[in-house]
Structure 1
Amino acid sequence: MDQLPQHLDIDWTSCRAHGLCAELLPEHVTLDEWGYPLVDARPVPARTLRRARRAAADCPVLALRLAAA
């Protein structure tokens, strides 16, 4: 059974602009001028999914998550 495509989502009320997500996943997350993440709206490719899960798990305030596209 195929897994549904996933994309990155930010919980803006929790995000504190630590920037770790952009460090761990630079091909999908960049930072704005204040250090807050700007996420790529495209689905996360299978080759990057493992690192995307790690970035979400390593977020200090758990503001980054993977969601079904």
Structure 2
Amino acid sequence: MADLVLVYGMRLLPADEVVSVGEARVELKSGKDAHVTMHVLEGDRERIEAQLRLSIEAFFDFYPEI
């Protein structure tokens, strides 16, 4: 399997300040675009960390060939 790139971003903001979250655009060498779905995790530090761990595990479950 070819080398892969995991594209992600994180930022903590006050929960009551976030109105909406869109998707991120990734430009590929081919000239095409790929889109990254953004996810929102809310709670205190421990809850966010636990949700993030579960999310990462679930993400890789979609790619069993890796």
Q: Same fold (TM over 0.5)?
A: no
Higher helix share: 2
User: Bigger radius of gyration, 1 or 2?
Assistant: 2
Normalised by the length of structure 2, the TM-score is 0.31
